[in-house]
Amino acid sequence: MFTQTNSEIFIPDGSDPAQALARTTHLCIAAHQDDIEIMAVEGILRAYENPDLHFTGCVVTDGHGSPRAGKFAEVSDDEMAQIRVEEQKEAARIGKYSAQVFLGYPSSEVKKTGNQALKEDLKNLIRQTRTEVLYTHNLADKHNTHVGVLMRVLEALRELEPEALPKRLIGCEVWRDLDWMPDEKKVVMDVSANKELQTQLVDVFVSQVQGGKNYTDAILGRRAANATFFASHATDNATGLSFGMDMTPLLLDRSLDPLEFVKGYLQEFQDSVVGLLEAMR
């Protein structure tokens, strides 16, 4: 179905792959194994309890080149890549995903502008899912592979026929949160439910936690902090929030430059900081 020889579609409930993709209502396209569970937990939680909703994850890179520490220190790069795929499959099982897609690209390929094979794979995937919501990395992420995936996703979306486009495109928090965006411009995703599942979905990535990162506390903590410091009474009861950047305008207007689009948000941030300081001096 996809071009790379190591590409794979894993279906936790054993359904036919075409059907598992076709029923998808919430799709996340992410760079690495474990990004999905950080950035798109809203979609996972929604589909987990609602039989009418289906979540599908897609990891673009092949899992090579990740740090190896602790009990994984002696593991080869190839073995580590396989371990990361298995961890991602376990997350898909725990989270009851409809499908988990692995496109299997080296990170270096993701960073190539207009990578034709990747663009076609992404178009193929999005067409087959007909998803309502598409979660991917946000335009202000600081990880170059994340931004590479985002730009390839935008290239694919902008070549798709209108009926295959998602209704909403959300840029999500991973290697940079979106606290700095104006509150009224944030996509506010309530992720207060089922903290136990949220914890399991991070803890399953044992190889990454062994790398010395306390992802579980960091990810659940960010959601708690977002909820506490968000200035809206409407969400006072929320104990966890994820923020998103609404990138849907980039789908509706194909001539809109993503750089100019994000510069608008950065300018608003600068204006709010400078404006308050000027008012108070």
Dist CA 105 CA 102 (whole Å): 9
Closer residue to Zn ion (CB): 35 or 37:
35
CB 38 within 8 A of CB 67: no
Rounded to a whole number of angstroms, the minimum distance from the CB of residue 208 to Zn ion is: 10
Rounded to a whole number of angstroms, the minimum distance from the CB of residue 69 to Zn ion is: 17
Phi, psi values for residue 134, rounded to 5°: -120, 115
Q: Binders of Zn ion: how many residues, by CB under 5 A?
A: 3
Which x/- pattern, by CB under 5 A, does the window 75-114 give for Zn ion? Answer: ----------------------------------------
Rounded to a whole number of angstroms, the minimum distance from the CB of residue 260 to Zn ion is: 26
DSSP H or E segment with residue 105: strand 99-105
Phi, psi values for residue 61, rounded to 5°: -90, 165
Residues 23-62 that bind Zn ion (CB under 5 A): 31-32, 35
Closer residue to Zn ion (CB): 11 or 141:
141
Rounded to a whole number of angstroms, the minimum distance from the CB of residue 38 to Zn ion is: 8
Dist CA 147 CA 88 (whole Å): 21
Closer residue to Zn ion (CB): 107 or 128:
107
Closer residue to Zn ion (CB): 35 or 121:
35
Burial level of 111, CB count in 10 A (0-12/13-18/19+)?
middle
Dist CA 44 CA 187 (whole Å): 16
Residue nearest to Zn ion (CB): 32
Burial level of 73, CB count in 10 A (0-12/13-18/19+)?
exposed
Closer residue to Zn ion (CB): 56 or 208:
208
137 binds Zn ion (CB under 5 A): no
Contact residues toward Zn ion (CB under 5 A) are 31-32, 35
